[in-house]
Amino acid sequence: MAEDLRYTEPYRPMRDRGRETSDALVAVRTVLSRAETALQEIDRPNYTRDEQGNPVFDSNGFRILSQDEDYDEMRAALEHVVESLEWWRRTGRPRRPS
């Protein structure tokens, strides 16, 4: 049976990686940034629209808000991604090579 390699505990690098650069760090920082952006996007009001794309109003003339049925799970997953990748966030200008 294959070893279970799923993420289980928070990882803490042996040193600060915030000013280092590598292709892997760029990729991880991109995912971190996109997860943070997605968290901002899913918290914006989502208004209900009809089949033609027109806004739907209630009997008082207010637009009807809707929320994705998986909102709570998606938000929790994105928060987990941000928390997991926080260790590799860029914290300053890259160091000059020695």
User: What integer best gives the mean pLDDT of the chain?
Assistant: 86
The amino acid at 84: S
- Alpha carbon distance 58, 3 (integer Å): 54
- Does some domain include residue 80? yes
Per residue in 17-40, pLDDT (tens digit) is 888 989 999 999 999 999 999 999
Number of domains in the chain: 1
Residue 9 pLDDT grade (very low, low, confident, very high; cuts 50, 70, 90): low
- Does residue 27 belong to any structural domain of this protein? yes
Q: What's the domain range around 39?
A: 23-88
Q: Does 47 map to a domain?
A: yes
Q: Are 68 and 46 in contact (CB under 8 A)?
A: yes
Would you say residue 83 lies in a domain?
yes
Cβ-based neighbour number of residue 88 at 10 Å: 21
Task: Write out the H or E segment, with its range, that includes residue 42.
Answer: helix 23-42
Does 12 map to a domain?
no
